[in-house]
Structure 1
């Protein structure tokens, strides 16, 4: 679970960088649920993995959380995700 969440977070982070381009910013609406799924996978990994082996799950949870916050802030700046 931890590795899946980490890879999901890396993919979401790459997608977030692309979504910062003004014309492509509408993809933030799809990015938020995508990162939320990765965060849920990371939370499950943290819950069901021993504390000394859940570093990847925590990293995935943090990456997906950062992506969610940045995507919501980006949508907040533009209202509906339009051109900024």
Structure 2
């Protein structure tokens, strides 16, 4: 059950992260990252790893975008 919750949180974060890849919308990643961290923690508590891994991929995409944009662009 926790794995499903983690995947749902990851999907919600993905909806925020995808438009944040556009220039000048990178600040949306700052809203997505705490949500992804919650998904990672919930996925860690699960017996399956797929939800946690999905959230880790989304966190990596958001973090790389923030690094490339200088943190806010």
Query: TM-score per shorter chain, which class?
Result: 0.7 to 0.9
Query: How large is the RMSD of aligned CA atoms in angstroms?
Result: 1.2
Task: Give 5+ residue unaligned stretches, structure 2.
Answer: none
Give the match for residue 5 of structure 2. Answer: 4
Structure number having the greater helix percentage:
1
1:1-84 equivalences in 2 (<5 Å): 1-46=2-47, 54=48, 58-82=49-73
Task: Give 5+ residue unaligned stretches, structure 1.
Answer: 47-53
Show structure 1 runs of 4+ deviating over 4 A: none
TM-score by length of 1: 0.77
8 Å Cα contact 2:29-2:62 kept in structure 1: yes
Structure showing greater radius of gyration is 1
TM-score by length of 2: 0.87
Task: Give per-residue Cα distances to partners, 1:12-50, cap 9 Å, x unaligned.
Answer: 12221111121221111121111010000000113xxxx
Residue correspondences, number: 72
